[in-house]
Amino acid sequence: AQLAIVLGTRPEIIKLAPIIQECRRRDIAHTVVHTGQHYSPRLTEVFFEELQLPSPDHTLGVGSDTHGEQTGSMIAGIESVLLDVDPRTVLVQGDTNTTLAATIAASKLDVELAHVEAGLRSDDRQMPEEVNRIICDHTADQLFAPTTEAATNLRDEGIEADRITVTGNTVVDALQRHRRIALERNTLPEGLGDVPGEYGLVTLHRAENVDEPERFADILSGIDRVARAFDLELIYPVHPRAREVLSDLPVPDTVRPVEPLEYLDFLRLEAEARLILTDSGGVQEEACVLGVPCVTLRENTERPETIAVGANRLGGVSPERIAEAARVVLAADDEWDNPFGDGDAARRILEASAATPAREVVQ
Ligand code: UD1
Ligand code: UDP
């Protein structure tokens, strides 16, 4: 295969789907490697079905473990597939341990490494994702930055301009392809988000927010204040990482925990929500593209474009600040320009990638 696409978690499947589909349309020989970092059917299988992707060509089944164990087994598994497949280019997305493992495996072999969603920075090295993206950006041969701001971050770190292409974010490609279908079909259970604008949508899964019960409880208390102040029910699809801690916490009456949702159901809920409260990267972007105000339940964001256009506000993790951020963002004008591109990112990425000559072998 010309291209090996490595993925392993929910957001990677969603954001790489437009690239995989574009490879299929253009007959670009490609192979898809699934590390198995996510394995619960609701975090992985459902997306292959909904996004009409063929099953991965290679599955490594690594599962959950400590960062070192998980990343280590992924490196070994990916290396073995790459030696077998011998691709010209390895393509990775974002900032997960899967991204990191593929970066390290590819960097030791004679292949070109391409990073989709390059150049994002939270400037918070406590986050495993920040370290993962820095390592990937400084290792990759080709960097596909979603915005000019992300490209500037890369250049500021000394990465040569000729390795960087601004492409937009494939999250927009996926949204454009699925938004109408999501709004037309309604497979949500009755009573879940029936009335547009009368509910808020919540997601929480960052290690720093959900692993620590006190911090998680503060966030719940903050979103409860928002629910009461604006008379909103809060629908909260619970990421498996948060499930256990949540079961030992008092969940406010205003918050309705549900299982993780399929992409189209989730998109519909996002599009018709009055407000989105989240610590997810992809959800901050989707809220911004869909025109729904967002409060980010973190102290920082690697998506500052959403804040600059007025779509998003940092709520931190204290109840007072969360309530205040919601008040401000709901009072503000909700017309803004989408900073993440025109939905043609997958095409740009593949064209730039195919145009690059294979890296010379240095022995
Ligand atoms: C990972 C990424 C994060 C990304 C998120 C997307 C890293 C370091 N983190 O976080 O950047 O935003 O995916 O959702 O790569 N679990 C299950 N079923 C699964 C997968 C996980 O129950 O299919 C539970 C396990 O208890 C596991 C925990 O979730 O220990 C954490 O999983 P892990 O893959 O380590 O990280 P995520 O929190 O999912
Ligand atoms: N998502 C979904 N169902 C859910 C929650 C999220 O389909 O119940 C989708 C959402 O539309 C977005 C992606 O998952 O495209 C975000 O993934 P996540 O929050 O797990 O990771 P992050 O973007 O923070 O890395």
Ligand 1 site-directed mutation target among 42, 64, 69, 206, most atoms within 8 Å of CB? 64
Q: Over the stretch 267-296, which tens digit does the pLDDT of each residue have?
A: 999 999 999 999 999 999 999 999 999 999
Average pLDDT over residues 29-44: 97
Q: 294 CA distance to ligand 2 centroid (A)? A: 14
Q: Over the stretch 226-268, which tens digit does the pLDDT of each residue have?
A: 999 999 999 999 999 999 999 999 999 999 999 999 999 999 9
Average pLDDT over residues 36-58: 97
pLDDT at 6 over 60: yes
Same fold, 3-169+342-355 and 190-331: yes
In this prediction the pTM is 0.97
Q: Which ligand 2 atom is nearest residue 279's CA? A: 24
How far from each other are the two terminal CA atoms of the chain, in whole angstroms? 23
Q: Over the stretch 198-218, which tens digit does the pLDDT of each residue have?
A: 999 999 999 999 999 999 999
Q: How far apart are CA 65 and CA 85, in angstroms?
A: 27
Ligand 1 site-directed mutation target among 7, 38, 98, 125, most atoms within 8 Å of CB? 38
Q: 271 CA distance to ligand 2 centroid (A)? A: 14
CB of 128 sitting under 6 A from ligand 1: yes
Q: How confident is residue 346, by pLDDT bands cut at 50, 70 and 90? A: very high
Structural domain spans, the chain? 3-169+342-355, 190-331
Q: Which ligand 1 atom is nearest residue 38's CA? A: 23
Residue nearest atom 13 in ligand 2 by C-alpha distance: 11
Q: Looking at domain 3-169+342-355, which of 3.30.450.20, 3.40.50.2000, 3.30.1330.100, 3.40.228.10 is its CATH number?
A: 3.40.50.2000
Q: Which of 38, 178, 205, 239 is catalytic?
A: 205
CB of 252 sitting under 6 A from ligand 1: no
357 vs 114, residue with greater confidence:
114
Residue 93 pairs with which residues in a beta bridge? 116
Position 359 scores a pLDDT of 42
Position 186 scores a pLDDT of 82
For residues 230 and 325, the answer to whether their CB atoms sit within 8 Å is no
CB of 129 sitting under 6 A from ligand 1: yes
For residues 9 and 47, the answer to whether their CB atoms sit within 8 Å is no
For residues 87 and 58, the answer to whether their CB atoms sit within 8 Å is no
**In Å, how far are 219, 245, 248, 255 from 213, measured between CA atoms?**
10, 6, 8, 17
Q: How confident is residue 362, by pLDDT bands cut at 50, 70 and 90? A: very low
pLDDT at 117 over 80: yes
Position 224 scores a pLDDT of 98
Average pLDDT over residues 110-135: 97
Residue nearest atom 9 in ligand 1 by C-alpha distance: 96
Q: How far apart are CA 299 and CA 296, in angstroms?
A: 8
Q: Over the stretch 321-343, which tens digit does the pLDDT of each residue have?
A: 999 999 999 999 989 999 999 99
What is the side-by-side order of every strand in the sheet holding 30-34? 58-59, 30-34, 3-7, 89-93, 112-116, 142-145, 164-166
Pocket of ligand 2 (CB under 6 A): 10-11, 14, 203, 205, 237, 260-261, 263, 266, 280-283, 286
The enclosing H or E element of 116 equals: strand 112-116
Ligand 1 site-directed mutation target among 39, 96, 297, most atoms within 8 Å of CB? 96
Percent of the chain at pLDDT > 70 equals 97
Percent of the chain at pLDDT > 90 equals 95
CB of 243 sitting under 6 A from ligand 1: no
Ligand 1 site-directed mutation target among 34, 37, 42, 203, most atoms within 8 Å of CB? 37
Q: 148 CA distance to ligand 1 centroid (A)? A: 29
Q: 203 CA distance to ligand 2 centroid (A)? A: 8
Q: How far apart are CA 341 and CA 360, in angstroms?
A: 33
Q: How far apart are CA 343 and CA 268, in angstroms?
A: 18
Token pair, residue 108, equals 């030791």
Q: Domain 190-331 carries which CATH code?
A: 3.40.50.2000
Helix (H) and strand (E) counts for the chain?
15, 13
Position 1 scores a pLDDT of 81
30 labelled catalytic: no
CB of 303 sitting under 6 A from ligand 1: no
Q: How confident is residue 360, by pLDDT bands cut at 50, 70 and 90? A: very low
CB of 11 sitting under 6 A from ligand 1: yes
Position 355 scores a pLDDT of 52
Position 357 scores a pLDDT of 47
Q: Over the stretch 157-196, which tens digit does the pLDDT of each residue have?
A: 999 999 999 999 999 999 999 999 999 988 898 899 999 9
